[in-house]
Amino acid sequence: MKYFVVALLSLIIVAVISLPFAGIGLLLGHNPYIWGLSAVAGQFIIGGLWNTLTNKILRNKIRQTELLEEIERSSKYVILNCAYCSVNNEASIILNQDNKFTCKNCKQRNKVDINYVVSRTTEPVLQNNVIKEIIDKVEKDEDGREK
Ligand SMILES: [Zn+2]
């Protein structure tokens, strides 16, 4: 319903804009219908081009926004020492890109190399079964001593 109203309103606007063209055609002694219909056709062509252009711009903006959001999501802020002056800098790191940052102190460009380090997983002490067994045994011994 909303689109129907918009389309009707657009057609009325096209007709209202075309009327003066028909009048000009009439004043110049030409066929007013040809002038009016040419104005209608011209508005449809210009409208179509305008819609295509604005859609393309809008789509590009959406794509750009999505790309920026994706970069924001995949980036990680780390504190890194400048390779020139050793001052701490907060740098944004993205895994699938060459990462560089400009030092806030000496304004030199730094390149960030990412190294991967593997380590063993660790459990909290109280969840470790060996420690639990020892604690249980000690508690049992203490209970036994009390009795
Ligand atoms: Zn520096």
pLDDT in tens, the chain (147 residues): 889 999 999 999 999 999 999 999 999 999 999 999 999 999 999 999 999 999 999 999 999 999 989 888 888 889 999 999 999 999 988 887 889 999 999 999 999 998 889 999 887 766 677 777 888 888 888 776 654
Distance 90 CA to ligand 1 centre (A): 12
Ligand 1 centroid distance, CA of 96 (Å): 24
What is the pLDDT, as a whole number, of residue 112?
93
CA of 67 to the centre of ligand 1 (A): 30
Ligand 1 geometric centre to CA of 86 (Å): 6
Tell me, what's the pLDDT at 142? 78
Residue 66's pLDDT is: 95
Helices and strands (H, E) in the chain, number of each type? 3, 4
| Per-residue model confidence (pLDDT) at position 36 | 93
* C-beta of residue 78 within 8 angstroms of C-beta of residue 58: no
What pLDDT shows up at residue 136? 86
Gap from CA of 77 to ligand 1 centroid (Å): 17
Phi (first) and psi of residue 93, to 5 degrees? -115, 125
Task: Output the pLDDT for position 94.
Answer: 84
d(CA 107, ligand 1 centre) in Å: 6
How many angstroms does the Cα of residue 94 sit away from the middle of ligand 1? 21
Alpha carbon of 14 to ligand 1 centroid (Å):
63
98 CA from centroid of ligand 1 (Å): 19
Q: How far is the CA of 113 from the centre of ligand 1 (A)?
A: 16
Q: How far is the CA of 13 from the centre of ligand 1 (A)?
A: 62
Secondary structure (3-state) at 10: helix
Q: Measured between alpha carbons, how far is 141 from 45 in angstroms, rounded to an integer? A: 94
- Residue 137: the pLDDT is 87
**pLDDT given for residue 126 in this prediction:** 67
